[in-house]
Structure 1
Amino acid sequence: MQPDSLDWKIIGILSKKHITNSMLAKRLGVSEGTIRQRLKKLQEKGILQIRALRDPNILENQQLAMVAATLNEARLLDQKAQEISQLKNVLSVSIVSGRYDFLIEVLVESNKGLVNFLTEQLSLVEGISKTETFVVLKSLQKWI
Structure 2
Amino acid sequence: MRTPPIHRATFDQAICGTSENHEIKESKMITEVVEDTLIERLVIALETRRPLSETLWSVEQIASWLGLAKATVEVRVVSRPDFPSALRPVNSKQAQRRWFANEVLEWARNSKGVIPAGKPGRRRRAS
TM-score band by shorter chain is under 0.3
Task: Between the two structures, name the one with larger relative contact order (CA 8 Å, sep ≥ 6).
Answer: 1
Which has more radius of gyration?
A: 2
Q: TM-score, normalised by structure 2?
A: 0.23
Q: TM-score, normalised by structure 1?
A: 0.21
